[in-house]
Structure 1
Amino acid sequence: FSFDFDGNPSINAPSILYIPKIQYPKGFEIIISEGEIEKREDEQLVYIKSKTEGIHTIKIIKKA
């Protein structure tokens, strides 16, 4: 899964992605072009906070 978003550091709230366990039963890894991530696998959520403006990419990769 790949997701592009336009970062705005003036927004204090994170972006939240739902990552369903049914699609990623063995877990997942995240590659992010910029920002901070917080994985909450038990809640099936990822929180993303951008620190710079511009287009950023998030890639979510299934663990083997």
Structure 2
Amino acid sequence: MARITVDTGKCIGSAQCVLAAPDVFDQDDDGFVMVLDDNPSGEAETTARTARGICPAQAITVHD
């Protein structure tokens, strides 16, 4: 099972993570990333890894 962390200081609010993995990520009132599930498994883990790859700010880390 992976553990997800985000660097909110790097986040630019593009919402690509939310589009790619809505069960794992959301945006706060200011438009920055929030982690809904920091230990996703199965399909949610796969989509979280996809979100990490497409994050333009490289603000998402997936720890194995």
TM score, norm. by length of structure 1: 0.35
Judging by fraction of residues, say which structure has more helix: 2
When Rg is computed on C-alpha atoms for both structures, the one with the higher figure is 1
TM score, norm. by length of structure 2: 0.35
